[in-house]
Amino acid sequence: MTIRRRDLLPLAGLPLLSPLLSPLLSPIDAAVRPLEESHFPSRLHLFVWRNWELANLDRIAQVLGATPRDVESLGRSLGLPRKIRLTNDQLRRLYITVIRQNWHVLPNAQIMELLGWEEPRFAFTLKEDDFLDVKLQAKPELAPLAWHAPTPAERRRTAEIRQIVRQVFGPAIDAAGEPPFAFVDQLAKATGKAPAPRPGQAVWTPRYVYSYFALYGDPLVETDADPFPDGLLERLAASGVNGVWMQAVLNTMAPARAFPEFGQGWPTRLKNLNALIARAARYGVKIYLYMNEPRAMPAAFFTRHPAVRGERFQDWWSLCTSTGTVRDWMSSSLEHVFRQAPGLGGIFTISMSENHTNCFSHGGAWGVKAPVARDCPRCRERSSEEVLAELFRAMRQGIRAASATAEIIHWDWGWPDEMAARLIPKLDKDVLYASISEWSQPVERGGVRSRVGEYSMSVVGPGPRATRNWQIARQAGLRTVAKVAFNNTWEISAVPYIPVPHLVLEHCEKLERAGVSGLMLSWTCGGYPSPNLEAASYFFYSPRPSPAEILQRVAAARYGHPAAAAVVEAWRLFSEAFAEFPYGVQIYILPTQHGPANLLRLEPTGLPPGMILFPHDAMKSWCGNYPPEIVVAQLSKVAAGWKRGLDLFERAAPRATADLDIARTCYHHFQSAANQVAFYAHRGDAGRLRALAEAELALARRQYDVARRTATIGYEATNHYYYRPLDLVEKVLNCRQVLARLDRR
């Protein structure tokens, strides 16, 4: 079985014209019951708790129609720590966490009030910010929440909660720790140190990566949240990175005579892009734009432009690229961008993503057979490879009219095998062809056979699909790019990197033999300047040391020569343990992102899991084609092997707090995922459930200290914080309630 992200996503396209978006909010579904967290005495108490670390007192009070003093008093009664006032920058970076945490607590109007947003911005974010509405799933119907004075029964339960919090956490509940997003300031500050010179010739170029903390939606407008500050550029360059990428939506980047609705704000975006290009150039880094085009539009758009309406997908229609009007718009817009921003490094494209774009983008991806267009009167008479080659030529024509040197990279994400074989030879000879290295690599774990469906670090590439398609590309005279994951993947993205450099270097050795030309080093997760990247960077140049020497050098530079040998051994143990990860589980919904923060449910919720953000209790879906007992066994094996490496790492480098907390989080999350699968596989066994609930409580307590101490924990650029420290305290309350209910059975 192949894991396919797209299989999990019955997605709509992403429109860009905010006036058209307001009526397109995710529909309220009265049939979906909101989760009632009965470990709190009321929804009011749940709301105050969940938002204590996400919003300021005055805004929480405003939503409730209360006073800040009322809210603060309620928080103190729950045993919560002193309320910290969040900065504007912290609030700007928390919005996805705020929306997620209140999805089952507040109606949309009050979520918007909590954020201080108007409806068009909220609708745009749900649709445009990496498919947020799909990750959240259906919005339950909720009555507005209003302040009320706690009842006597609520006050009694509140006192019990306070006692549990103070008893279990003691002084740790009041520890300040690192504030959220402390890593932004830490990584933004340039050190001023010149990177060590790299002898020899570059082997792979370009080598581009995403920012560890960029805001995804419209980064060229929100310049006060700099996606690539000097310090991050400096550190990435020192790790061998020579390119960084960001999302750009073409209909916001240039004026368009054919479509006057497009191009609003383009001067601001290109001014900011040029400033970023100039600053990145000081570090030898180029900017690449991610182009997923042309973006589909809602029906209202085509009342004005009926001649370009193409294939329908749900409530969106393609701008048909078989029309000269659309191709000319794309060419002229790209020419405008590259003329206005002449230092731009290039673009990379995805043409069959979850976004509805060209008329074949939802005609059958990921499989063997070429996709088809059924509704479009033009494209249904044409082949997918013919239409996409024509689209790519139009894009290239515009870019080459302004730049002879910009890189044009076509990524085959979602291309069916039949189409890829026919399309690759049609690409222009001065473009690059990119493929996910590990895609389709066979794997067997716990006696279960599977194949990599997308990204993996536990399974090392390249796989047969990439190898075959790179060969086709080379025979056609094209340079090739490997999309790799050297920091983390959705196997666990709650840490900035997974410390398995042995697996990373094994992948580098195999790519060296495969003869690729360049590397895309991350998707949205994976842009952290880490020891993994540092180790991989030795392969970016020739000649290079042996892998053993590379690991020794990286460990000595980071932890000192006395600790280096033991750290390398710990990394080996981590790598061996991670190679037991049961790939074939549904990594997009398995609770390895949330770990011990994911609550236990004694009774089934009946809710489907939401990709990444809401694992819920959907154990059978989590397991994919694995029997649950094999998932438990394999994840337990990963955790046990990881613990041996962690014990050694803690002894060797006791002062490496941040790196140790990253390794601890991996261990806690792997063990917690095993516990949670076992919990739902044994819902009828009270004794087993009790032991598992106690184990989860203990993990949540330990992970609280880790998450409070180190701000990178639980964070990923397009999902923000999967959990904050108080969510782990809530898990303790949840486990205590589960144990109490089991006692009454």
At residue 436, the 3 state secondary structure works out as strand
pLDDT the model gives residue 510: 98
**Start-to-end Cα distance in the chain:** 39
Whether residue 533 contacts residue 521, with contact meaning beta carbons closer than 8 Å, is answered with yes
pLDDT of 224 reads 75
SS3 content of the chain, % helix, strand, coil (to 5): 50, 10, 40
pLDDT of residue 365: 82
The token duo for 303 is 């009342």
680-698 burial: b if 16+ Cβ within 10 Å, else e: bbbeeeeeebeebbebbbe
| pLDDT value at residue 638 | 98
CA distance 496 to 686: 37
| Dist CA 657 CA 562 (whole Å) | 17
The two structure tokens encoding residue 602: 């004694």
Q: Which two tokens stand for residue 668?
A: 């806690």
Q: Which of 325, 338, 257, 323 is nearest to 291 (CA)?
A: 338
Distance (Å, whole) CA 355 – CA 247 = 13
Strands 407-411 and 346-350: parallel
Strand pairing class (286-291; 309-313): unpaired
> Minimal CA–CA distance to 413: which of 2, 5, 1, 729?
5
Residue with tokens 């095998």: 417
- What is 324-393 written as a DSSP string? HHHHHHHHHHHHHHHHHSTT--EEEEESSSSS--STTTTSS-SSSSPP--SS-TTGGGS-HHHHHHHHHH
Paired sense of beta strands 243-247 and 139-140, if any: unpaired
CA dist 300 to 21, 303, 316, 317, 357, Å?
10, 5, 10, 10, 17
Span 287-309, pLDDT tens digits: 999 999 999 999 999 999 999 99
Q: What angle do CA 68, 70, 72 make, to 5 degrees?
A: 65
Structure tokens belonging to residue 166: 């103070």
DSSP 8-class letter at 64? H
In contact, 302 and 316? CB cutoff 8 Å: no
- Two tokens, residue 358: 């060209």
Report CA torsion sign: 53, 54, 56, 57: negative
**Are the beta carbons of 615 and 609 closer than 8 angstroms?**
yes
Cα distance between residue 141 and residue 341, in whole Å: 47
Alpha helix (H) residue ranges in 415-546: 417-423, 464-475, 501-514, 531-537
Q: Are the beta carbons of 243 and 208 closer than 8 angstroms?
A: yes
| CA diameter of the chain | 77
Cα(179)–Cα(496) distance, rounded to whole angstroms?
17
| Secondary structure of residue 737 in the 3-state scheme | helix
At 482, phi and psi to the nearest 5? -100, 120
The secondary structure of residue 89, as a DSSP letter, is: H
For residue 92, the 8-state DSSP code is H
What does the pLDDT read at residue 32?
A: 87
User: Could you tell me the two tokens for 663?
Assistant: 């390794």
Q: Is the CB of residue 487 less than 8 Å from the CB of residue 496?
A: yes
Q: Show me where the domains of the chain are located.
A: 1-174, 194-558
**Contact between residue 741 and residue 602 where contact means Cβ atoms under 8 Å apart:** yes
pLDDT one-digit tens code per residue, 165-182? 999 999 999 999 999 999
For residue 569, the tally of other CB atoms under 10 A from its CB is 17
Which of 582, 609, 608 shows the shortest CA–CA distance to 674?
582
The reported pTM is 0.95
Look at residue 7 in the predicted model and tell me its pLDDT. 52
Do residues 436 and 522 touch, judged by C-beta distance below 8 A?
A: no
Which tokens sit at 284? 């030898």
Sign of the CA dihedral with 40 first, then 44, 50, and 56 last: negative
Round to whole Å and give the CA distance between 473 and 517: 11
Residues sharing a CB contact under 8 Å with residue 576, sequence separation 6 or more, in sequence order: 502, 641
- In DSSP terms, 449 is beta-bridged to 444
Q: Rounded to the nearest 5 degrees, what angle is found at the Cα of 743, between the Cα atoms of 742 and 745?
A: 65
Half-sphere exposure of residue 724: CA atoms within 13 angstroms, side-chain side: 22
| Angle of CA points 504, 509, 514, to nearest 5° | 120
Strands 346-350 and 720-721: unpaired
Q: Does residue 410 sit in helix, strand or coil? A: strand
Which DSSP string corresponds to 441-477? -EEEETTEEEE--S--SSS-S--HHHHHHHHHHHHTT
**The three-state (H, E, C) secondary structure of 251-268, written as one string:** HHCCCCCCCCCCCCCHHH
pLDDT (0 to 100) of residue 10: 37
Residue with tokens 């699909």: 465
Residues of the chain with pLDDT under 70: 1-27
Residues sharing a CB contact under 8 Å with residue 108, sequence separation 6 or more, in sequence order: 25, 28, 122, 139
194-558: CATH class: alpha beta
Q: What is the pLDDT of residue 216?
A: 81
Closest CA to 664 of 631, 725, 599, 713: 713
